[in-house]
């Protein structure tokens, strides 16, 4: 068996095309464009890339966007004041505070300060509570992207055993709630799970979201399972790359390590997963691309919910 690769790009492009049509319709019928404001504090290079990708995607779809970049010395009170000012602006539909924030800023306080109606990341306790209760809400983008991949690939979720490795507030926990909404039976594994492979090898759908490069191997995967890799990690040695890849893909990864010192990999060992899974999401090119697409979808959702459209 060789797994079918689930392309995040194809699905993300389809979602963005749908969002673009919605944006054009809102402007034509109601005379406004949704507006997303991204706030970044400090000089974290990864955050700079992520925010840049989000602002670029918004522009491509006709969504108005603002990128507010604050110096690393910004304190919690200053950031709170900015968030509250954005809450008060009627033209702003979505507020995105890029995480992680510098250590001296109270991250949870900032998350809870964002107006839940403008919380396009879906991290506010009000939105988390609505998700848990099955009410309509703004849903965290990466978990929502995982569900979209499965639905658009016509992979049945209802009645299946979904096992999630990782219990973060950003991915693991909200994804478990989404799987329950889709009538799956759900198991969450974590660092204290005893005999992890015994649990994961029972999964019809296995999601890896732990931040450990290549950790999930063939013995963790049931024959024919759908494997969704949410991890984004750096592999920095040729030896590690050879453990994860072979053939042309290995050559490409070794070239990347030679040029920039690393290659991006997921939480799953792809060389072993492809031999056992029925479907598999690559890294890069898988779930990560859906995260930005779902953020755009959330921005339009926030704009319409706020206005009662």
Task: Give the span between the Cα atoms of 11 and 239, in whole angstroms.
Answer: 33
CB 268 within 8 A of CB 213: no
Q: Return the ∠ at Cα 124 (arms to 123 and 129), rounded to 5°.
A: 100
Instruction: Give me the active site residues, please.
Output: 54, 98, 121
DSSP 281: -
Task: For residue 155, list its beta bridge partners.
Answer: none
Task: Give the span between the Cα atoms of 44 and 38, in whole angstroms.
Answer: 15
CB 61 within 8 A of CB 20: yes
DSSP 201: T
> Tokens in use for 55?
């602002």
DSSP 192: T
Quickly tell me which residue has 């290659």 as its tokens.
263
CA atoms within 13 A on the CB side of 12: 23
């Amino acid at each position: 068996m060789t797994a079918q690769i689930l392309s995040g790009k194809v699905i993300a492009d389809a979602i963005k095309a749908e969002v673009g049509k919605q944006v054009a319709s809102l402007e034509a019928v109601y005379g406004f464009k949704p507006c997303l404001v991204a706030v970044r504090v400090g000089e974290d290079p990864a955050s700079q890339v992520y925010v840049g990708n989000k602002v670029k995607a918004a522009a491509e779809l006709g969504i108005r966007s603002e990128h507010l970049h604050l110096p690393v010395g910004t304190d919690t009170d200053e950031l709170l004041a900015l968030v509250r000012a954005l809450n008060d602006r009627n033209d702003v539909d979505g507020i995105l505070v890029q995480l992680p924030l510098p250590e001296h800023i109270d991250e949870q306080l900032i998350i809870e300060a964002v107006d839940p109606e403008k919380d396009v990341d879906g991290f506010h306790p009000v939105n988390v509570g609505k998700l848990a209760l099955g009410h309509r809400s703004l849903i965290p983008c990466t978990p929502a992207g995982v569900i979209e991949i499965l639905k658009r690939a016509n992979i049945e979720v209802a009645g299946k055993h979904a096992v999630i490795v990782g219990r973060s507030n950003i991915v693991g926990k909200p994804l478990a709630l989404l799987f329950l909404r889709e009538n799956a039976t759900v198991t969450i594994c974590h660092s204290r799970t005893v005999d992890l492979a015994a649990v994961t090898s029972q999964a019809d759908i296995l999601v890896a979201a732990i931040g450990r490069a290549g950790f999930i191997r063939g013995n963790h995967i049931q024959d024919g399972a759908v494997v969704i890799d949410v991890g984004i990690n750096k592999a920095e040695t040729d030896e590690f790359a050879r453990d994860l890849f072979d053939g042309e893909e290995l050559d490409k990864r070794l070239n990347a390590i030679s040029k920039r010192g690393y290659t991006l990999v997921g939480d799953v060992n792809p060389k072993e997963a492809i031999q056992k899974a029925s479907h598999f999401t690559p890294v890069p090119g898988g779930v990560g691309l859906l995260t930005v697409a779902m953020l755009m979808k959330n921005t339009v959702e926030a704009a319409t919910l706020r206005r009662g459209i």
